[in-house]
Structure 1
């Protein structure tokens, strides 16, 4: 917001020759805060863990400012009171690109020199401690500097496969904390080691260090909940807490309201799609399939058909279908599912009976997703690519668990903005 204000102030100064604050409190400037901040979020410029690449960042800033400018231009067309002197606006936009780029570069420099990193040790006894170390290493700007590992037994001193040193065992933890001036302790305990984790928390209770679990770390850095680290009690608690959230009622009202607006706004796109599909196959415009929704309630999901019968009898994605999927247009009929109450705009992806039965084999707690209405888009879809592997589905379920635990108006808006970014960049599957 500060960059937007400074950009308009500088644009005014260059055009008028003085700091005329009356120009930077006009309605168009207030609207620009929403337009530009929203477009910055769409292009992921607010991500704290995103690695800074000068050319890529400059392109993303340019596109985001361009989208924000289009929004403001459209608003000015419908409301003439939003008009502002064109030279001031053009110069403000140029300054905005420069300011945002400089802010991202400064952010990169601060974290590249690791001035604010917390001195950290990881306590664990199995592969999880190495998995946590890899998560920190691959996360840009995590703010964590791992000094080494703490094993729960003396045998941990002989562990191999990591470049991190073994600093000692849990019996030596307090000595290690004092010796290395440790600020953060990460408890990377497996489910079978719950009692050991409780003992560690008790030991560190009066120490001047921050203590987090592996689950909390994954939530912060990856925005997911690793399903192999949670037990059935944890899942049941999540489900019950989700059902008690007052936001569920608000979420349903917003779903209906937004769906009605989208139905009207996107009607021309839907009619054009129907027309194009009718040229391809007059009788096969819509794809209808049974899916499983909230509380395992079955429903019929609607999509625009994107596949056709190939010469060998197999179904293949048509040329038009590739385009529909790329921009997520094939999913527009699901707005009807939202209005019927089968789905939400944001939520876990609805799946078929066969897929769910297969998922239970390697994800025993898969039933957690039935606590919420499935969504047209979701936290898993915007954070993880399309996949057909068991490992990939398990990873997407971890993102669904995070959404189940944290769903709110803020998170839903975040998902919708990220979805818009995916659509604008044509990165649908």
Structure 2
């Protein structure tokens, strides 16, 4: 993993991104050469170079938005051909706008077609090779786990469904008197075995995953391994790096103070506010036709009797309440029996509501909340006071997510499906705490770009 502006990026996927960026650049370059193979070119080398940079950048951003470099993606959710097809369609539209709406960047249509064709074939070939060889052990970090109980078992199984498994567990060390729950890996029982095993297997890192914090660790042997050159980390650090979460199971109060995160300040606040305003104005400029269509559809479905918008009290920054605005997607009597969270196939959702919730169009009026300063464009999902009080009683550290403004989109919304119960709230809180701890403009931009995937795939919609 590589840490960029506090956010962890997979080194393998970063390498894939750079290879494909170079592929796209060369595709435009050779697309131009192929088009003008027998005739003189209309363009200078500098002009072709600029066109190639624009082409590679737009196509790469489209791939990011569709989730083609997301390290947590699973085989079931991958769907390479559909993702690549949608990515190239979106990129082609954007490139047509850039190349032909701005005369200074105009490029021949035949060159663009050749470049897209070379890029498409080249990308599929590169992806085939990547996923054929990505399982090679040399691309995976070798891990030795101290502990052989339930936490060690959870760690071993934590990336089973990922396309690329960033690490492999070479073995576990069972502590004296502790329960054993792992299987399928080498089990060490004596501290004296630690350093020889590390040397023999080429372990890169040791992760301490003990079920009982009172267990006696082999401190001298761990220090020997550290002096030998092997990193030793705790589960909190490991999950933050590998899963982009703050693991609640291993969290303790003083960690919030002594960890290298949760930084604020006037400059960060001003920076974030500027991004909020610019992103909201851009979204408003491109989405107003959809907002008008949604408003008309809601009016027609309700026969001009129900409201188009509705306001609802939500908990914002520092636990201050505010009124969020959304397009109405449920019947007007949806909460006549009291407040309850939306569930899958909720019978209170209207026909129009089902469509606009799937593609997150019901969230668009929240642009006004962002412009007012109640919300941020990126942040934890704002919850209702009733649910916040309920979760705060049973979920430790739940109100820590309110250290920042809630957002239209966010890290938890991107990484986890829609939450409908306490278990889901716990899982999403782990992503929210990661965002609050590691916030940066870079992370915000990544989330904004990835939101394209959330909209197109209807992830987390109910």
TM-score normalized by the length of structure 1: 0.90
Distance 1:50 1:350, change over 3 A: closer
**CA-atom RMSD, angstroms?**
2.9
Residue pair 1:238, 1:404 contacting (<8 A) in 2 also:
no
| Counterpart residue number, 1:407 | 439
Residue pair 1:235, 1:365 contacting (<8 A) in 2 also:
no
Q: Distance in 1 between matches of 2:96 and 2:404?
A: 38
| Counterpart residue number, 1:379 | 411
Count of aligned residue pairs for this structure pair: 427
In the alignment, structure 1 residue 13 sits paired with structure 2 residue 33: yes
Residue pair 1:12, 1:23 contacting (<8 A) in 2 also:
no
Residue pair 1:242, 1:371 contacting (<8 A) in 2 also:
no
| Counterpart residue number, 1:301 | 324
Q: Distance in 1 between matches of 2:115 and 2:218?
A: 54
| Counterpart residue number, 1:184 | 205
Residue pair 2:317, 2:403 contacting (<8 A) in 1 also:
yes
Q: Which of 86, 92, 101 is the matching residue for 1:69?
A: 92
User: Could you list the per-position Cα deviations for residues 66-92 of structure 1 after superposition, in whole angstroms to 9, with x for gaps in the alignment?
Assistant: 110100112234223322122211111
Residue 341 of structure 1 and its aligned partner are, at CA, apart by 0.9
Q: Which of 65, 68, 90 is the matching residue for 1:42?
A: 65
Q: Which of 225, 229, 249 is the matching residue for 1:204?
A: 225
How does 1:345-360 map onto structure 2 within 5 Å? Answer: 345-360=377-392
Residue 164 of structure 1 and its aligned partner are, at CA, apart by 2.4
Comparing 50-59 with 85-94, greater Cα deviation is found at: 50-59
User: Could you list the per-position Cα deviations for residues 135-164 of structure 1 after superposition, in whole angstroms to 9, with x for gaps in the alignment?
Assistant: 1434332242222211222x34x6245322
Q: Distance in 1 between matches of 2:402 and 2:288?
A: 31
Distance 1:239 1:270, change over 3 A: farther
Any unmatched runs of 5+ in structure 2? 1-20, 338-346
Q: Which of 320, 334, 344 is the matching residue for 2:366?
A: 334
Comparing 121-130 with 330-339, greater Cα deviation is found at: 121-130
Q: Which of 241, 253, 262 is the matching residue for 1:220?
A: 241
TM-score normalized by the length of structure 2: 0.84
Comparing 235-244 with 166-175, greater Cα deviation is found at: 235-244
How does 1:5-404 map onto structure 2 within 5 Å? Answer: 5-17=25-37, 22=45, 25=48, 27-48=50-71, 50=73, 56-124=79-147, 126-153=149-176, 155-156=177-178, 159-170=180-191, 172-190=193-211, 192-193=213-214, 196=217, 202-237=223-258, 241-244=262-265, 246-279=267-300, 280=302, 281-309=304-332, 316-404=348-436
Residue pair 1:5, 1:24 contacting (<8 A) in 2 also:
no
Any unmatched runs of 5+ in structure 1? none
